[in-house]
């Protein structure tokens, strides 16, 4: 009989939902009642919409409990642990029976996320129990040459998971071919879009996979030093990375002649970034590590030729490095069984927005947007109509509902005007104003512009001013054409990916939702009823009971009417604050 184990998810999402209190309560009851089970910690399990999550593993099976706040702990321990009776209505996943959320897991293929939610990220032994560091050992035992490892990465078809999707093996090959005496490996863990949630979860949940991927890269290109560039706003990720690095050094996995490979010396450092979005661009990132202001430079030369301190440098993002040990250990043939002809393997997405099941999912390339949203994501909140999805982060594009059959692969996504990016997927429903969404994302990229390129610095500002005017009902003829002209000028004149992609939200919303722009400009109406200055509040006569609640709640006395009589809203006085709409219990206020 094996010992019962209880595992609590303590990633940032779980901690924000109260998982720390849940863990402490389980520990308290365990000690007080002298219960015989092992209590362990893990990180994000991906099912963020059910946090806090608690997994119980016993002789009868595996049971994942969702929404376990402190009020449920005593009941679960009493019934499941003491009386061997699982509480099925609290269970969101089990190998013993179906659960309401089973679709969230069906269709997922975990490669990058293979250990997240399954191991204690602060335990190197648990990582090793899951074939951790087996890939680099395989390289050492089979005496694979650097070019052999690079060929495996090339054969896998792995493309960079952080942005443009450049072939990872080809990138390594460029750095390998440069015979400079000093080379560097950098992990870009600073992407500042919704997809960065995925990067953070990997760093928090499986830091050793990133370390092993970087070690393999270091061996392959001939580098002796690596940097993990991680934003300081990720304290838990940095904490667990530091623990992982220390334990890897203790075991001799970092340092000199590691894994018995003669003359292979490799060590790692963490560089904490200040959270500048532009530092997701590799040359700006390099500048930041060197102690300079994070600003991009013209390429060529590319980092593989002249990167960190003018030495050949290879840069990949978190998810890319997490895939490397799996590919080397299992073989490229197994990896490229997943995906499409030009987009092999799997991709992790961070689902957010107006979706029922927000969280992390890892799916084979080639799955459609619609499958992700309706099967894994559970569909749209509140039964609303699906309108669009923003794919690729703030610099991504909006893909409309009628293109939701688009398969997730680099070429198909790029053809829509969006980008894969690092995997942010923001779902929008019929109440979302796409003009305001374009303004929102452009506001972010405009603020994050380093200012080096004139068109990016000033052009995005002019675009933001136009979009702001449009959402306030001050749009004018020619605004759409001006936005398009500025967009193309910014894309053509910017040095880095931030400027080159910043106009994407504007261009795609104009392309697919031009009628909404025209409604804002010509009709002074917001079809989604979101832009405050373009909304009109009126009383529905047949629903109004004259209860006076709306009139009493109005902060500017724009509503008049006697008790039990029809009330009227004065549009000249109304500030469109929405208090009347919120307070009315009889659905007597309408928006138009």
Q: Is the pLDDT of residue 399 over 90?
A: yes
Cα separation, 426 vs 150, in Å, equals 35
> CATH assignment of 5-100?
3.40.30.10
Cα separation, 339 vs 329, in Å, equals 19
Cα separation, 208 vs 224, in Å, equals 18
What b/e sequence results for 332-348 when a residue is b if at least 16 CB atoms lie within 10 Å of its CB, and e otherwise?
beebbebbbeebbbbbb
Q: Which two tokens stand for residue 323?
A: 């895939």
DSSP 510-549: HHHHHHHHHIIIII---TTS--GGG--EEE-TTT-----H
The pLDDT tens digits for 471-529 are 999 999 999 999 999 999 999 999 888 889 999 999 999 999 999 999 999 999 999 99
For residues 335-341, average pLDDT: 94
Q: Which CATH class is domain 536-591?
A: alpha beta
Closest CA to 19 of 33, 36, 35, 6: 6
Task: State residue 196's pLDDT score.
Answer: 62
The DSSP H or E segment spanning 397 is: strand 397-400
Query: What CATH architecture applies to the domain 434-523?
Result: Up-down Bundle (1.20)
Q: Which two tokens stand for residue 262?
A: 């003669």
Q: What is the 3-state secondary structure (H, E, C) of 456-520?
A: HHHHHHHHHHHHHHHHCCCCCCCHHHHHHHHHHHHHHHCCCHHHHHCCHHHHHHHHHHHHHHHHH
Quote the pTM value: 0.93
> CATH assignment of 124-335?
3.40.50.11540
Domain ranges of the chain: 5-100, 124-335, 346-429, 434-523, 536-591
Give the confidence band of 191 by pLDDT, cuts at 50, 70, 90: low
Q: CA angle 350-448-353, nearest 5°?
A: 25
End-to-end CA distance of the chain: 66
Q: Is 297 helix (H, G, I), strand (E, B) or coil?
A: coil
Give the confidence band of 148 by pLDDT, cuts at 50, 70, 90: very high
The pLDDT tens digits for 375-395 are 999 999 999 999 999 998 888
Provide the mean pLDDT of the chain.
Answer: 94
> CATH assignment of 346-429?
3.10.20.600
Q: Is the pLDDT of residue 553 over 70?
A: yes
Q: Is the pLDDT of residue 1 over 50?
A: no
For residues 452-468, average pLDDT: 94
Dihedral sign computed on CA atoms, order 276, 280, 281, 285: positive
Whole-number Cα distances in Å, 513 to 419, 432, 461:
18, 12, 22
Give the confidence band of 192 by pLDDT, cuts at 50, 70, 90: low
Q: Is 237 helix (H, G, I), strand (E, B) or coil?
A: helix
For residues 251-264, average pLDDT: 94
């Amino acid at each position: 009989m094996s010992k019962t184990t209880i595992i609590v998810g303590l990633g940032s999402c779980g901690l924000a939902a109260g998982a720390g209190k849940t863990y402490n309560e389980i520990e308290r009851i365990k000690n007080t009642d002298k219960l015989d089970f092992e209590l362990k910690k893990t990180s994000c399990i991906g099912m963020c919409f059910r946090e806090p999550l608690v997994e119980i593993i016993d002789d009868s099976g595996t049971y994942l409990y969702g929404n376990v706040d402190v009020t449920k702990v005593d009941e679960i321990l009493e019934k499941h642990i003491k009386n061997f009776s699982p509480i099925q209505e609290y269970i969101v996943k089990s190998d013993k029976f179906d659960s309401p959320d089973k679709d969230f897991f069906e269709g997922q293929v975990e490669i990058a996320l293979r250990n997240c939610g399954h191991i204690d990220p602060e335990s190197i032994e648990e990582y090793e129990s899951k074939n951790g560091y087996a890939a680099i050992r395989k390289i050492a035992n089979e005496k694979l040459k650097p070019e052999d490892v690079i060929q495996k990465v090339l054969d896998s078809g792995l493309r960079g998971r952080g942005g443009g999707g450049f072939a990872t093996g080809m990138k390594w090959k460029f750095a390998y071919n440069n015979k400079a005496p000093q080379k560097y490996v950098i992990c870009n863990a600073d992407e500042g879009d919704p997809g960065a949630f995925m990067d953070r979860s990997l760093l928090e949940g499986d830091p050793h996979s990133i370390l092993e991927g970087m070690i393999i890269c270091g061996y392959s290109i001939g580098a002796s030093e690596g940097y993990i560039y991680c934003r300081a706003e990720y304290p838990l990720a940095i904490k667990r990375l530091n623990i992982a690095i220390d334990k890897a050094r203790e075991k001799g996995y970092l340092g000199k002649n590691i894994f018995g490979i003669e003359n292979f010396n490799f060590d790692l450092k963490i560089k904490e970034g200040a959270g500048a979005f532009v530092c997701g661009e590799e040359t700006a990132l390099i500048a930041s590590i060197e102690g300079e202001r994070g600003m991009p430079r013209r390429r060529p030369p590319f980092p593989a030729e002249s990167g960190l301190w003018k030495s050949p440098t290879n840069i990949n993002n978190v998810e890319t490095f997490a895939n490397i040990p799996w590919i080397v250990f299992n073989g490229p043939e197994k990896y490229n069984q997943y995906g499409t002809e030009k987009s092999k393997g799997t991709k992790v997405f961070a689902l957010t927005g107006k979706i029922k099941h927000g969280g992390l999912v890892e799916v084979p390339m080639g799955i459609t947007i619609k499958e992700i949203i309706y099967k894994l994501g559970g569909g749209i909140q509140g039964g609303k109509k699906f309108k669009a999805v923003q794919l690729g982060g703030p610099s991504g594009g909006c893909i409309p509902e009628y293109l939701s059959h688009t398969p997730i692969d680099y070429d198909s996504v790029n053809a829509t005007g969006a980008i894969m990016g690092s995997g942010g997927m923001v779902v929008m429903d019929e109440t979302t104003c796409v003009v305001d969404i374009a303004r929102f994302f452009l506001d972010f990229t405009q603020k994050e512009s380093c200012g080096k390129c004139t068109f990016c610095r000033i052009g995005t500002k002019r675009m933001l001013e136009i979009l702001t005017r449009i959402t306030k009902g001050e749009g004018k003829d020619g605004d759409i054409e001006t936005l398009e002209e500025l967009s193309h000028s910014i894309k053509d004149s910017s040095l880095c990916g931030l400027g080159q992609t910043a106009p994407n939200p504007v261009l795609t919303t104009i392309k697919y939702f031009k009628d909404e722009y025209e409604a804002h400009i010509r009709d002074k109406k917001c079809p989604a009823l979101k832009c405050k200055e373009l909304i009109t509040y009126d009383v529905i006569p047949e629903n109004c009971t004259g209860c006076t609640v709306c009139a009493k709640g109005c902060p500017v006395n724009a509503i008049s009417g006697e008790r039990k009589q029809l009330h009227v809203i004065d549009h000249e006085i109304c500030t469109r604050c929405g208090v009347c709409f919120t307070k009315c219990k009889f659905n007597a206020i309408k928006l138009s």
